[in-house]
Chain A
């Protein structure tokens, strides 16, 4: 299974995602990238991310994405 970091690096190869705590503010992901990321996370982790959770704050850094994955996995 790909790690979140590997998925992010696949979307935007040129950035170091470990060096930012706000991917959106730092211009590392745009809204199209977020939708791509959602699709890849769902496929890799077998979760469904709720539409209401597809907001910038849930994708702003690695910890936020991990939290979102945990929350999405816990949902029936």
Chain B
């Protein structure tokens, strides 16, 4: 039975219960308590038990993000089989993050139980490269939020990129986390970053189709690097077979760190 999560403590206790019985724990639930609390506040989290495996569901637009905490891979496989009865018509998406040998085994269990490998991402890390604030680059303000949200929504993959909603864009703009090159008041290129202490995540870096090959992306990244001068680490996720993007990131000094994210999708059955 699927039940809504009302308190972070419910999840912590459930995870604890699995961990106590685990022989080869497998999980893709890495959310910090504060993040889980925010999702609970938005009423998008629910959970179910499949024998000793904890399944956590997060509603995201028109599909569900699936997390598991399972005592061993065999029990995870059994839980995934049971999902077909639990929610047969819903599209399910699972991010499986880890190092390739282990995470590929878990991805194979999903693929053997109704999921398909949708995309593979890899994490790249680096430090601030060629830095220099560009006068044509500006911070998006709250008034730009709608335009930025529309710009990103047209470019992002809902399963892979976790596109932000309008509130999230507005909040990021207020926190000065979005750089853009405007054209006639609208974003022609956008770079979204999230800095915590000495680390920064380069979340999105896009140039609009009609503005490509004009150096806008370079202006954005150099301005971003200028903001990152004192940081020790910049990280990003890139689709593993996007050779063009990877070549650009390498040019700017990023390197693969080994960590991958296998995104698997189970298409909902027709009702």
Contact = CB atoms under 8 A, between A and B. Distances in A.
Interface residues of B, number: 27
Contacts of B9: 52
A27 B196 contact: yes
Interface string B180-221: 000000000000000111111000000000000000000000
B251 interface: no
A29 to B, nearest CB: 9
Given A51-B13, A52-B13, A31 B198 contact: no
Given A28-B198, A35-B30, A14 B15 contact: no
A51 B15 contact: yes
A71 interface: no
Interface residues of A, number: 21
A31 B13 CA distance: 18
B197 A48 contact: no
A31 B31 contact: yes
Given A14-B233, A52-B13, A55-B33, A27 B197 contact: yes
Given A35-B30, A56-B33, A27 B12 contact: no
B27 interface: yes
A35 to B, nearest CB: 5
Interface of A: 12, 14-15, 20, 22, 25-28, 30-32, 34-35, 48, 50-52, 54-56
Nearest to B16: A51
Nearest to B235: A30
Contacts of A28: 197-199
